[in-house]
A and B are shown apart, each in its own frame.
Chain A
Amino acid sequence: MREYFENITRELFKNIKSNELLIINFDAEESKFVRLNKGKIRQAGSVKQISMTLSLSTKDKRNLKSYVRLNGSFERDISTLIKTLNYLRRELPDLPKDPYMMFSTSVHSTEITSEKQSTSDEVILEHILNSATKLDLVGIFSSGSIYTGLANSLGQKNWHEDYSFSFDYSIYNKNNNAIKLNYSSKKWNKDDYDFILNKGIEKLAILSNTEKKITTGEYRVYLEPSALNEIIDMMAWGGFSYKSNKIGTSPLHLLNKKERKLNELISIDENIKDGLSANFNSDGFIKPEEISMIKKGEFIESLTSPRSSLEYSVVHNAASPSEYPCSIDMGAGSISDDKILETIDNGIYISNLWYLNFSDRNNGRMTGLTRFGCFLVENGKLTAPINTMRFDDSVYSMLGDNLIGLTSSRELLIDSGTYEERSTSSARLPGAIVNNFKMTL
Chain B
Amino acid sequence: MKNEFINQINSYLPNVDYCSFRFVSKYTNVLSVTRNVLEPIEIIEDEGLMVTVIHNGGYGYSATSDLTREGILKATEEAKKWSAFTKGNLIHQPTPPADIINNGKYFTHEQDTWAKESNKDKVDYLYEINKALKSKPTISNWGASFRYNKIETLFTDTNGSKFRQNISYILPQLIACAEYKKEIQTRTYGGHAHARQIGYNFIKDSNLIDTATSIANDAIELSMAPNCPSKKCDALIAPDQMILQIHESIGHPLELDRILGDERNYAGSSFVNLDMFGKYKYGSEKLNISFNPEQESELASYNFDDDGTPAQKKYLIQNGLLKKPIGSFYSAQRAEQDYVACSRATSWNRPPIDRMGNINMEPGDTPLSEMIAVIEDGILLETNNSWSIDDYRNKFQFGCEKGTIIKDGEMKGVVKNPNYRGITKDFWHNLAMVGDESSYSILGTANCGKGEPNQTIFVGHATPSCLFKDIDVFGGE
Which A residues have a C-beta under 8 Å from some C-beta of B?
A: 31, 33, 35, 37-38, 40-51, 55, 63-73, 76, 84, 91, 94-96, 98-100, 122, 125, 129, 138-140, 142, 168-170, 172, 176, 178, 180, 247-249, 253-254, 257, 259, 311, 354-363, 365, 367-369, 371, 388, 390, 392, 394, 417-419, 422, 440-441
Contact = CB atoms under 8 A, between A and B. Distances in A.
The 4 closest A-B pairs by CB, nearest first: A360-B476, A45-B61, A418-B453, A247-B141
B184 A249 contact: yes
A104 to B, nearest CB: 16
Given A44-B86, A360-B477, 11 more contacts: A37-B262, A41-B91, A45-B351, A65-B42, A71-B71, A170-B265, A311-B37, A362-B184, A363-B476, A371-B268, A418-B453
B114 to A, nearest CB: 15
Contact of B264 (A125, A178, A422): A178
B116 interface: no
A235 to B, nearest CB: 15
B452 A139 contact: yes
Contacts of A67: 42-46
Contacts of A94: 118-120
A418 B452 contact: yes
A176 B265 contact: no
B265 A71 contact: no
Interface residues of B, number: 82
Contacts of B264: 37, 138, 170, 172, 178
A41 B90 CA distance: 5
Contact of B182 (A122, A254, A419): A254
Interface in B39-90: 40-48, 59-68, 71, 75, 78-79, 82, 85-86, 89-90
A126 B390 CA distance: 33
Given A69-B46, A71-B68, A248-B184, A356 B388 contact: yes
7 contacts: A35-B452, A46-B62, A70-B65, A139-B452, A311-B35, A369-B395, A418-B452
B12 interface: no
Contact of A368 (B141, B388, B477): B388
Contacts of B441: none
Contact of A122 (B44, B64, B85, B452): B85
A390 B421 contact: yes
Contacts of A358: 385-386, 399
B120 A47 contact: no
A125 B179 CA distance: 55
Contact of A91 (B40, B79, B119): B119
Contacts of A125: 85
A44 B389 CA distance: 29
Interface in B403-444: 417, 419, 421, 423
B69 to A, nearest CB: 11
B63 A46 contact: yes
Contacts of B394: 388
B123 interface: yes
A11 B96 CA distance: 46
Contacts, number: 238
A138 B264 CA distance: 7
A418 B63 CA distance: 15
Given A67-B46, A122-B85, A50 B261 contact: no
A356 B388 CA distance: 6
B476 A248 contact: no
Contact of A69 (B43, B65, B391, B419): B65
B177 A248 contact: yes
A42 B262 CA distance: 8
Contacts of A73: 66, 68, 71
A167 to B, nearest CB: 10
A100 B34 CA distance: 12
Interface in B120-138: 120, 123
B60 A44 contact: yes
B138 to A, nearest CB: 11
A388 B424 CA distance: 14
A66 B45 contact: yes
Contacts of B260: 37
> Which of A31, A168, A390 has its CB near the most chain B CB atoms (within 10 A)?
A390
B3 interface: no
Contacts of B75: 46, 48
> Which of B64, B183, B452 has its CB near the most chain A CB atoms (within 10 A)?
B452
Interface in B306-347: none
B349 interface: yes
Contacts of A362: 183-185, 417, 476-477
Nearest to B262: A37
Contacts of A72: 65-66, 71
A355 B389 CA distance: 7
Given A247-B140, A248-B177, A42 B78 contact: no
Nearest to B392: A388
Contacts of A354: 268, 390-391
A363 to B, nearest CB: 4
Contacts of B65: 48-51, 69-72
A138 B68 contact: no
Given A41-B89, A95-B38, A98-B37, A367 B397 contact: yes
Given A44-B61, A392-B397, A142 B78 contact: no
Contacts of B449: 419
B455 interface: yes
B11 interface: no
Contact of B177 (A41, A249, A360, A388): A249
Contact of A38 (B42, B179, B261): B261
A360 B35 CA distance: 24
Contacts of B71: 71-73
Contact of B456 (A43, A48, A419): A419
B68 A259 contact: no
B107 interface: no
Contacts of B47: 69
B245 to A, nearest CB: 14
